[in-house]
Amino acid sequence: MSGLAIQMAYVVAAALFIFGLKLLGSPASARRGNLLSAVGMLLAVVAALLDQGIVEYQWILLGFAVGGVIGAAAARLVQMTSMPEMVALFNGFGGMASLLVGAAALGTSTATFTLVTIVLSILIGGLTFTGSLVAWGKLSEKIGSGAIMFSGQKIVNSLIVLAILASAVMFCLQPENLNWLFLLIALSLLFGVMAVIPIGGADMPVVISLLNSYSGLAACAAGFAVNNNILIVAGALVGAAGIILTQIMCKAMNRSLSNVLFSGFGSVKTTAT
Amino acid sequence: MEPVYLTFILMLSIFVGFELITKVPATLHTPLMSGANAISGVTVVGAISLAGTGQQDLANWLGAAAVALASINVVGGYMVTDRMLAMFKKKGA
């Protein structure tokens, strides 16, 4: 299939995603909407497989087989009551996939723009992965569902953010030195843990919704890194829709988003006084 | 492709995403989140292009791993969403 036909297939897939999300917003049409967006995904995957750059299929098929079986089994077997943590877990895998795509794109180009998008996909993908794992652990009570806090947490988090910024800059300046890449990945993973542990279990659905938005943004950044339209469009859609949904969920609880995200830090203050 | 052109696409997609989600009933929050989550597995498309290059290098392996992880997200995400929505229908009837 020629490049133009593939791009047109991506356009149709994007339209199906948009319609699907729209239909998911009302009870009568929600199931149809989900099906529609699944058809869009199938179309995008088939189009990607027909690309002339694809010369070898065994690794792709192996990946599909492994991921498909695990995903299908998990979706079938999960208890109805544990749906939210299942979503969190799936979401984490999506974030990790974006991280890997971003890291793998390093070989293709060393233009600054590409490097910045690689940094973003690694950073957002990494924090989505570990953040989702922590959210999953809290909801399924594999780890304590309460907010985990320690003194000096703010300082530690600020240091991590500074270290991320520093390693991101160094990575862009010296892309051939892989140590910066590994440091960036490690810090992103650490940051995901640190961002979610101070939030209590009851607020987890909001956090998962936010992480869902992040995984969209990670896919979007990965799309910039590998120059792929459908990743950018679908990723941005999920990112924006996820943010709005997060806000709606916060409003439903009569809270603001910052109140949910930083409630843990606030309670440190109140217990101290 | 030009960065500027891609950024245009990004901006328009974000606006569409913002406009799509309005007045969603509370019962649909979780399915909508789950459905959107499945779409974010679209990163599988990028992973495919890396996993099928035929060069036995690191990017190839990373791509294959990304295909597997993203497939979990896509397949699991859509199936879980469908299960949730099927349950709603039974309750309503």
The ipTM is 0.90
What are residue A183's phi and psi, to 5 degrees? -60, -45
Cβ pairs bridging A and B (under 8 Å): 358
* Domain range annotation of chain A: 81-272
Amino acid at B45: V
The answer on pLDDT for A50 being more than 60 is yes
The candidate with the shortest Cα–Cα distance to B76, out of A94, A16, A243, A61, is A94
Amino acid at A82: S
The candidate with the shortest Cα–Cα distance to A91, out of A128, A52, A119, A44, is A128
Radius of gyration for the alpha carbons in chain B, expressed in angstroms and rounded: 17
Cβ <8 Å between A57 and B52: yes
Residue keyed to tokens 């995200």: A261
**CB-based contact (8 Å) between B65 and chain A?**
yes
Residues of A whose CB is below 8 A from B29? 205, 209, 245, 248-249, 252
* Residue A125 near residue A99, CB atoms below 8 Å: yes
Which pLDDT belongs to residue A272?
Answer: 38
What pLDDT, in 10s, does the model give residues A134-169?
A: 999 998 888 877 788 888 888 898 999 999 999 999
The answer on pLDDT for A234 being more than 90 is yes
Q: CA-to-CA distance for A30 and A25, rounded, in angstroms? A: 6
The candidate with the shortest Cα–Cα distance to B35, out of B24, B47, B45, B50, is B24
The token pair at A213 is 């938005």
Residues of B whose CB is below 8 A from A97? 41, 43-44, 47, 65-67, 69-70, 73
**CB-based contact (8 Å) between B29 and chain A?**
yes
Nearest CB to A222; choose among B43, B61, B85: B43
What are residue B66's phi and psi, to 5 degrees? -65, -35
Which pLDDT belongs to residue B91?
Answer: 57
What pLDDT, in 10s, does the model give residues A191-214?
A: 999 999 888 877 888 999 999 999
Q: CA-to-CA distance for B3 and B5, rounded, in angstroms? A: 5
The candidate with the shortest Cα–Cα distance to A84, out of B37, B16, B40, is B37
Tallying the residues shown for chain A, one arrives at: 273
Nearest CB to B48; choose among A49, A113, A219: A49
Which pLDDT belongs to residue A263?
Answer: 64
Amino acid at A191: F
Which pLDDT belongs to residue A267?
Answer: 47
Residue keyed to tokens 């877990």: A89
Residue A95 Cα, gap to closest chain B Cα (Å): 8
* Domain range annotation of chain B: 27-92
Cβ <8 Å between A101 and B63: yes
Give the residue with greater pLDDT, B23 vs A47: A47
What are residue A247's phi and psi, to 5 degrees? -65, -45
The token pair at B91 is 């309750």
Which pLDDT belongs to residue A62?
Answer: 92
The answer on pLDDT for A93 being more than 60 is yes
Q: Which of A34, A69, A132 to mutate to test the interface with B (most CBs of B within 10 A)?
A: A34
pLDDT grade for A85, boundaries at 50, 70 and 90: confident
